[in-house]
Amino acid sequence: METKDIYREIINEHNLHPSHHGEISNPTYEMDGVNPSCGDKIKLQFKVDDSGIIEDAVFSGSGCAVSQASCDIMLDLVIGKSREESERITEAFMRMIKGEASDEELEILEEAEALADIAHMPARVKCAVLGWRTMEKIFKENRQ
């Protein structure tokens, strides 16, 4: 996919009109993610129930279209799923960004597959993974 098409696919819905941008009160988990080189700064907030299901999640902060859209797509995918499932999805996403994902992995990534070609834009990889890395960290630091 050309850079132009990546932008078309990801920005239309997710950058200009994100579904999960905002803040929630009393989140179970909250974490900041920073991209020092570009100044991107996001905050992730998760509401997770006792059985480990992600009931709701939002992101706030500022960043480039790639990081914002990737974050929004990520939350679309994991809301309603268990933390184990979300960790599996994250793993698949990271492998996809490296160009190593299997067909099965691509399937569970659904819309996030639109970001697969970021692998050809090495400078933008860290933008695409900012939200994912932050979510990974939330679950790693809060093992049940």
Partner 1 sequence: MTNIFKNDFEILHDDKYIYFDNAATTQRPKQVINAVSEFYRTINSNPLRGLYKWSVKSTAAYENARSKVAEFIGAEDSSEIIFTRNSTESINLIAHSWGLSNIKEGDNITVTILEHHSNLLPWQMVSRVTGASLTFIECSSDGEISDEEILNKIPSNTKLVSAAEISNVLGVRLPIEKISKRAHEVGAVMVVDGAQSAPHKPVDVKALGADFFVFSGHKVMAPMGIGVLYGKLSLLESMPPFLLGGEMIESVSRYDAVFAPVPEKFEAGTVNAAGAVGLAAAIDYVENIGFDIISQREEKLCRLMIEGIKTIPFTKYFGSRIPETHSGIVTFNIEGCHPHDVSSILDTENICIRAGQHCAQPLHEHLGIPASARASMYFYNDESEVERFLEALKKVRSWLGYGN
Residues forming the site for partner 1 (CB under 8 A): 2-4, 7-8, 11-12, 15-16, 36-41, 62-67, 121, 123-124, 127
Alpha carbon distance 9, 125 (integer Å)? 17
Using an 8 Å Cβ cutoff, are 105 and 96 in contact?
yes
Nearer CB in complex with partner 1: 8/49: 8
Task: For residue 84, give both structure tokens.
Answer: 């184990």
Q: Closest distance between partner 1 and the C-beta of residue 15, in Å?
A: 7
Nearer CB in complex with partner 1: 14/20: 14
Nearer CB in complex with partner 1: 45/67: 67
Nearer CB in complex with partner 1: 3/142: 3
Q: Closest distance between partner 1 and the C-beta of residue 143, in Å?
A: 33
CA-based nearest residue to 108, from 71, 138, 139, 81:
81
Q: Closest distance between partner 1 and the C-beta of residue 72, in Å?
A: 14
Q: How many CA atoms lie within 13 A of 30 on its CB side?
A: 9
Strand partners, 62: 41
Q: Closest distance between partner 1 and the C-beta of residue 33, in Å?
A: 14
Question: In what side-by-side order are the strands of the sheet with 54-62?
Answer: 29-35, 40-48, 54-62
